[in-house]
Amino acid sequence: MSEAISLSIVDSSGPAWRKSSYSGGGTNGNCVEVAFVGDVVAIRDSKNPAVGMLLIPAEHWRSFLVNGFHGLGNPR
């Protein structure tokens, strides 16, 4: 069974990048940033945003958040 994967070109200067409020206010840069671009979520390293980004389908991002929190017992 194989799944088709399509690649997208995303202008990283356009999306509104967000990072967690738990990242220390962003002063140390040790966090990832996410941006919603159409039906994909872009993820990049806040310390070096020019290196590139990981693009995943939005539905996979939602699954990651839901299963991640439940799977870890919601560590907050």
The string of pLDDT tens digits covering residues 9-19 is 555 567 888 98
Closest to 56 (Cα-Cα) out of 70, 69, 46, 43? 43
- For residue 76, pLDDT over 80 is answered with no
Question: pLDDT grade, residue 68 (50/70/90)?
Answer: confident
Listed by start position, the domains of the chain span 24-71
The string of pLDDT tens digits covering residues 41-59 is 999 988 888 888 899 999 9
pLDDT reported for residue 49? 85
What's the half-sphere exposure (Cβ side, CA atoms, 13 Å) at 44? 19
Closest to 9 (Cα-Cα) out of 60, 59, 53, 62? 53
